[in-house]
């Protein structure tokens, strides 16, 4: 086999974001802030708000189900999250059950702020490289919640990303990256806290430092940036100076994030969705990807887009999913988040509301701390 390069990467990709959103004009008015601060200064137009029947596992299932057509081929499930529901049991086990993935499978939950999904992608790549013929399901699912009337409130959101990692991927080969780890207190959530402890300005400095330490020039037309808020992509791109991508390319990078908000682990991959959806033909293109997780680690890596990748992406479904959400008023947003925060602390809970017609999965109950899900 000497001399043959095995190609491993993303075979399928999908996302899910809840069916309701808060418009940034509505939030700005309620908070007595000039809406242009949120829209121009932060770069956000909307943020997705989690529904009453949902949690990180149902969101992951919604993202993964459409791309898990060969369940028996999945040998590893990696679930990246910083909104975990259990200190011990991996969210990946609930997902395996809900998606009816056969039992002979390895499962694990990964944590390192917003970076864990990228770590999961690279671990899955290495797993497939060392286990020829095997496939991995790599997902992330998060609810970014800073609290009402905080500086971070405008940078919230909710959503999930799912990827199938395989040999001879139809979408993109994943190339190994350059990591940079540094112990910094920019953003963290100790076990005692419901919301993160954040030094917002410092976190942006740490992000920028990690980008400078890891960026590898390559003449990229498109670079996906981790976006805790869409304007972060502009800030990061400026740092790259001569290697910066064009303003037009940046519009594609930000197109999903500005509508959804921060989905923590998945936010970098919203940039990839924006590029894949907005650009005509990317065959043969090498896309730069910068992942950042507070605490902190940054990693820059690249994706080689494969011929016929358009056959395995769902541009129309992805944009329709975004444009078909319902707007909430302030009361609706506050009630949704209060319900979510309260429910996540319950040991016993029974869902008594109605899930929307387009939902496939719902959290039915929490029974002595154990979660019970249903396929609708
Ligand atoms: N019109 C237009 N622009 C305006 C404006 C107006 N009326 N008013 C203010 N602005 C601009 C400001 O000039 C500023 O622009 P620059 O950043 O270019 O200077 C921008 O709006 C934001 O204004 P402030 O700096 O005053 O904003 P803030 O103090 O409210 O904080 C924030 C912003 C730090 C992002 C805060 O929302 C926050 O802490 N968010 C959470 C932390 C975060 O997202 N950190 C990012 C890196 S960490 C990471 O990446 C991991 C992760 O996912 C969390």
pLDDT digits (tens, 9 = 90+) for 92-122: 999 999 999 999 999 999 999 999 999 999 9
Q: Give the C-alpha separation, 117 to 199, whole Å.
A: 23
CA dihedral 84, 86, 91, 94 (to 10 degrees): -140
Give the distance between the most distant pair of CA atoms in the chain. 65
Annotated catalytic residue, options 68, 226, 252, 259: 226
Q: Give the C-alpha separation, 234 to 248, whole Å.
A: 11
2 secondary structure, DSSP code: T
Is residue 82 flagged as an active site residue? yes
Neighbour count for residue 330 (Cβ, 10 Å): 14
Token pair recorded at residue 168 = 């001879």
Tell me how far the alpha carbon of residue 329 lies from the centroid of ligand 1, in angstroms.
23
The answer, as to whether pTM is greater than 0.95, is: yes
Ramachandran class of 326: left when φ > 0, alpha when ψ lies in -120 to 50, beta otherwise: beta
CA dihedral 235, 237, 240, 242 (to 10 degrees): -130
Q: How confident is the model at residue 1 (pLDDT cuts 50, 70, 90)?
A: very low
Whose alpha carbon is nearest atom 18 of ligand 1? 41
Tens of pLDDT, residues 220-237: 999 999 999 999 999 999
Query: Is the model's pLDDT at 349 over the cut of 80?
Result: yes
Q: How confident is the model at residue 4 (pLDDT cuts 50, 70, 90)?
A: low
Predicted pLDDT of residue 285: 98
Residue 306 contacts residue 170 (beta carbons within 8 Å) = yes
Q: Give the C-alpha separation, 266 to 116, whole Å.
A: 9
Q: Give the C-alpha separation, 220 to 243, whole Å.
A: 8
Tens of pLDDT, residues 317-335: 999 999 999 999 999 999 9
H/E segment holding residue 332: helix 330-343
Q: Give the C-alpha separation, 61 to 43, whole Å.
A: 29
- In the three-class reduction of DSSP (H, G, I as helix; E, B as strand; rest coil), residue 110 is classed as strand
Q: Give the C-alpha separation, 326 to 300, whole Å.
A: 35
Annotated catalytic residue, options 82, 109, 259, 299: 82
Q: Is the CB of 154 under 6 A from ligand 1?
A: yes
Q: Give the C-alpha separation, 157 to 345, whole Å.
A: 20
- In the three-class reduction of DSSP (H, G, I as helix; E, B as strand; rest coil), residue 277 is classed as helix
């Amino acid at each position: 086999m000497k001399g043959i390069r095995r190609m491993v990467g993303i075979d399928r990709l999908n996302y899910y974001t809840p069916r309701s959103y808060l418009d940034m004009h509505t939030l700005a008015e309620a908070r007595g802030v000039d809406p242009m601060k949120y829209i121009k200064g932060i770069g956000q137009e909307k943020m997705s708000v989690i529904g009453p029947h949902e949690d990180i596992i149902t969101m992951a299932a919604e993202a993964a189900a459409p791309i898990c057509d060969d369940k028996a081929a999945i040998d590893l499930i990696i679930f990246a999250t910083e909104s975990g529901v259990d200190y011990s049991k991996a969210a990946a086990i609930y997902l395996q059950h809900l998606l009816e993935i056969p039992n002979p499978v390895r499962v694990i939950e990964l944590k390192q702020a917003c970076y864990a999904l990228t770590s999961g992608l690279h671990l899955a790549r290495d797993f497939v490289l060392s286990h020829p013929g095997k496939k991995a399901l790599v997902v992330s699912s998060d609810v970014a919640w800073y609290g009402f009337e905080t500086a971070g409130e405008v940078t919230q959101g909710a959503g999930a990303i799912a990827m199938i990692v395989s040999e001879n991927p139809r979408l993109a080969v994943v190339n190994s990256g350059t990591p940079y780890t540094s112990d910094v207190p920019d953003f963290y959530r100790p076990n005692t806290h419901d919301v993160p402890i954040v030094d917002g300005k410092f976190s942006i400095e740490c992000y920028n430092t990690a980008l400078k330490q890891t960026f590898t020039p390559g003449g990229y037309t498109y670079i996906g940036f981790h976006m805790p808020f869409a304007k972060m992509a502009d800030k990061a791109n400026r740092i790259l100076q001569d290697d910066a991508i064009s303003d037009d390319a940046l519009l594609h990078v930000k197109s999903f994030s500005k509508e959804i908000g921060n989905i923590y682990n998945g936010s970098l991959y919203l940039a990839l969705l924006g590029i894949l959806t907005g650009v005509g033909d990317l065959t043969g293109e090498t896309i730069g990807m910068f992942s950042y997780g507070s605490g902190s680690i940054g990693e820059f890596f690249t994706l080689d887009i494969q011929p016929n990748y358009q056959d395995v992406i769902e541009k129309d479904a992805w944009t329709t999913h975004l444009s078909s959400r319902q707007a909430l008023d302030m009361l609706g947003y506050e009630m949704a988040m209060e319900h979510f925060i309260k429910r996540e602390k319950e040991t016993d809970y029974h869902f008594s509301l109605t899930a929307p017609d387009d939902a496939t999965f719902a959290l039915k109950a929490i029974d002595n701390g154990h979660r019970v899900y249903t396929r609708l």
